[in-house]
A and B are shown apart, each in its own frame.
Chain A
Amino acid sequence: MGIDPQHELHPPGFAAAVEYRGVSFAYSARAADGPSVPVLSDVTLSVSHRERLGILGPNGGGKSTLLKLTLGLLKPTRGTIRVLGREPSAARAEGLVAYVPQKSGAEPAFPISARQAVLQAATLHLPPWKRTDAESFRRAEWALSLVGASEYADRHAGSLSGGQLQRVWIARALANRPRLLLLDEPTVGIDPAGQQQFSDLLARLRNEMDLTILVVSHDLRTVAAGCDRVACLARTLHFHDAPGGLTPAVLAEVFRHDVSAIFGDVHIDAHRAVECSHHHAPAGSAGGDREGGKAP
């Protein structure tokens, strides 16, 4: 399956990069869940081309499930999903969709450099009798420099820090020039400075590539800083245009299923919402800066 780097051919007549219509999903047997509550319920959402969309929500709210549905790894119980006008699994099969999972399943002791890890993805499509070709090397190099990982590209992957590895995984995801990038909890375990770099990275990616990005996170700061729009997902969708619209009241409603949960450094609870956002949100984040004011 050759990959056309330009991806110019789209089925006619669709405007949204990703389109969810009335999507519901329930696992048939899921250990951690309560008995009969569906994971997603009637989610309708349109993601525009080259948009950076943040999906915020509590654990168990369905964020990872939504990503898996978008990848075609799961099928919705009800409703439809269109990725670039196609079925999700078709889009993935064509290499249009790339996914950076939350937890790295990578073996740290594995003898591989960052560059080779990226090449693994870049060369997957090559038939067995072909050597790794110059084109693949070029793509890997391009992806690594795009994410700013060139300087440590040849170091042993297991010796890299969390933040560095994060970039390498993103480079790996980009090596085959996808049109849609899904990031699952990308900033878990990364310090605030790293988080700022991350949002810069997202901006750069959006500028240099024809790329639509979906970022899933339970961390307010990540989502708000790096994204154009934020959707709050707690089984159902509460959608807001701007991160500044994420008032404590809204957040409390979204997170009410997980009232005492702690996610990132932000502790939301219906009664103490104001106090918390005041207390925990440092200046310059939570979308306050860009929108010109902190949430009340």
Chain B
Amino acid sequence: MKTLEYLRDYPDLFWPACLAAVALALLCSMLSVLVVLKRMAFIGQGISHAGFGGIGLAAVFGLASASLSPGATIAQFVVVLAFCIASALGVGILSSPQKQGETHEDTAIGIVLVLSMAIGSVLVGIYSPRFQWESFLFGYLLNTGWADAWVAVGVSAGVLGALFWARRPLAFWAFDPRAAEAFGVRTGAVRVLLLVLLAVATVTAMRLAGVVLASALLILPGAASLKLSSRFGVVMGLSVACAVAGVLAGLVLSFETNWPPGPSIVFALTAVYLASSVAGRVAAAPTVEGVVR
């Protein structure tokens, strides 16, 4: 079986990718529940394309180049991340839900998305015209080295920690934003926090594994787990499980068939989602069984 062969014979080649993939699954899975519930999938897209603008900005600082020192690589990551966070916040501001509905957010995302791409295109053209940004911005999972993998683990831990720390106001806001506001939850801050975490997750996943996989990880696990349970805690846990299962299955698929890892994982995640849909329909109507823990 090729998978075992690869893992045994070429450890430094393939283990970092596996570690990074699992870290990304953890990073994105819980966020994906919120993304699906609050219908923020398009924002994830917008943020990932905002990365173009981020690279443009990096180009201004001379950081858009194929070969950078480790310090410069970190600086570049920070610049792209800062730009994406700014874009996410821009979307948040443009679509503040005081009087408008969700269509407005849609529009805001579309605007920020195209504007970022335009900015990136122009800036890279001026400052780093030789730069092949597509392959650079949209990573490839098998290019992950140990350093990248541990960065992913660290970012994952940070984001999960933030989610845990803010879980009560976040869950309340996610469920009933108006009531949360009336109960004193600082809904503006919560919303900003979610957008920032989403930007961090998107940029990290995108740099390591490509934009397709980043988007998939931010939608499919949550969508799958929501079909399986109507208890929030259980949904969160199942989302992580679905994401990790999908990622591992996808990697095995990639190794066995020699298909690229990103799309393979997307296939696996989709299969998990379809299985959940069927299982969810087969099970009883959503009720909460037993005593609440």
Min C-beta distance of A177 to chain B, whole Å: 14
Smallest CB-CB separation from A93: which chain B residue?
A: B184
Q: Verify if A255 is at the interface (C-beta below 8 Å from B).
A: no
Task: Tell me, in angstroms, the Cα distance from A159 to B285 when the chains sit together.
Answer: 9
Q: Verify if A66 is at the interface (C-beta below 8 Å from B).
A: no
Q: Verify if A35 is at the interface (C-beta below 8 Å from B).
A: no
Smallest CB-CB separation from B226: which chain A residue?
A: A111
The interface-forming segment of B1-9, B55-63, B150-158, B169-177 is: B169-177
**Residue of B169, B175, B235, B290 touching A106 (CB-CB under 8 A):** B175
**Residues in A149-165 with C-beta less than 8 Å from chain B:** 154-156, 158-159
Min C-beta distance of B175 to chain A, whole Å: 5
Judge whether A31 and B99 touch: CB under 8 Å. Answer: yes
Q: Verify if A190 is at the interface (C-beta below 8 Å from B).
A: no
Judge whether A172 and B179 touch: CB under 8 Å. Answer: yes
Judge whether A117 and B175 touch: CB under 8 Å. Answer: yes
On chain B, the residues within 8 Å of A120 by CB distance are: 168, 171-172, 175
Judge whether B174 and A107 touch: CB under 8 Å. Answer: yes
**Residues in A93-128 with C-beta less than 8 Å from chain B:** 93, 98-99, 101, 103-107, 109-113, 115-117, 120-121, 123-124, 126, 128
Judge whether B165 and A128 touch: CB under 8 Å. Answer: yes
Count A-B contacts at CB 8 Å: 95
Judge whether B232 and A111 touch: CB under 8 Å. Answer: yes
Fill in one digit per residue for A3-40: 1 if any B CB lies within 8 Å of its CB, else 0.
00000000000000000000000000001000000000
Q: Verify if B178 is at the interface (C-beta below 8 Å from A).
A: yes
Given A113-B230, A116-B232, A155-B287, A107-B176 contact (CB < 8 Å): yes
Judge whether A111 and B184 touch: CB under 8 Å. Answer: no
**Residue of A103, A110, A115, A124 touching B184 (CB-CB under 8 A):** A124
Task: Tell me, in angstroms, the Cα distance from A110 to B171 when the chains sit together.
Answer: 10
Judge whether B164 and A128 touch: CB under 8 Å. Answer: yes
**Residues in B264-293 with C-beta less than 8 Å from chain A:** 285-292
Task: Tell me, in angstroms, the Cα distance from A71 to B226 when the chains sit together.
Answer: 35
**Residues in B67-83 with C-beta less than 8 Å from chain A:** none
On chain A, the residues within 8 Å of B178 by CB distance are: 101, 103-105
Given A155-B288, A159-B285, A99-B182 contact (CB < 8 Å): yes
Task: Tell me, in angstroms, the Cα distance from A116 to B288 when the chains sit together.
Answer: 10
**Residues in A42-101 with C-beta less than 8 Å from chain B:** 71, 73, 92-93, 98-99, 101
Judge whether A109 and B184 touch: CB under 8 Å. Answer: no
**Residues in A133-156 with C-beta less than 8 Å from chain B:** 154-156
On chain A, the residues within 8 Å of B285 by CB distance are: 159
Judge whether B179 and A128 touch: CB under 8 Å. Answer: no
Judge whether A124 and B230 touch: CB under 8 Å. Answer: no
Q: How large is the interface on A (under 10, 10 to 19, 20 to 34, 35 or more residues)?
A: 20 to 34
Q: Verify if A169 is at the interface (C-beta below 8 Å from B).
A: yes
Task: Tell me, in angstroms, the Cα distance from A152 to B207 when the chains sit together.
Answer: 47
Task: Tell me, in angstroms, the Cα distance from A128 to B291 when the chains sit together.
Answer: 23
Task: Tell me, in angstroms, the Cα distance from A121 to B180 when the chains sit together.
Answer: 8
**Residue of A71, A73, A105 touching B177 (CB-CB under 8 A):** A105
On chain B, the residues within 8 Å of A124 by CB distance are: 168-169, 172, 183-185
**Residues in B7-27 with C-beta less than 8 Å from chain A:** none
On chain B, the residues within 8 Å of A110 by CB distance are: 37, 174-175, 232
Given A109-B226, A159-B285, A172-B179, A126-B168 contact (CB < 8 Å): yes
Min C-beta distance of B165 to chain A, whole Å: 5
On chain A, the residues within 8 Å of B96 by CB distance are: none
On chain B, the residues within 8 Å of A107 by CB distance are: 37-38, 174-176
Smallest CB-CB separation from B97: which chain A residue?
A: A105
On chain A, the residues within 8 Å of B291 by CB distance are: 154
On chain B, the residues within 8 Å of A154 by CB distance are: 287-292
Given A111-B230, A117-B175, A156-B165 contact (CB < 8 Å): no
Judge whether B179 and A106 touch: CB under 8 Å. Answer: yes
Smallest CB-CB separation from A109: which chain B residue?
A: B37
Task: Tell me, in angstroms, the Cα distance from A71 to B183 when the chains sit together.
Answer: 10
On chain B, the residues within 8 Å of A158 by CB distance are: 286
Smallest CB-CB separation from B39: which chain A residue?
A: A107
Task: Tell me, in angstroms, the Cα distance from A159 to B230 when the chains sit together.
Answer: 11
Given A116-B292, A124-B184, A124-B185, A156-B179 contact (CB < 8 Å): no
On chain A, the residues within 8 Å of B229 by CB distance are: 111
Task: Tell me, in angstroms, the Cα distance from A135 to B62 when the chains sit together.
Answer: 58
On chain B, the residues within 8 Å of A99 by CB distance are: 182-183
Sorted nearest first, the 7 A-B pairs with minimum C-beta distance are A105-B178, A106-B176, A113-B288, A111-B230, A99-B182, A156-B230, A120-B172
A selection of 9 A-B contacts at a CB cut-off of 8 Å is A105-B177, A107-B38, A107-B175, A111-B234, A113-B230, A121-B183, A128-B167, A158-B286, A172-B179
List A residues at the B interface (Cβ < 8 Å): 31, 71, 73, 92-93, 98-99, 101, 103-107, 109-113, 115-117, 120-121, 123-124, 126, 128, 154-156, 158-159, 169, 172
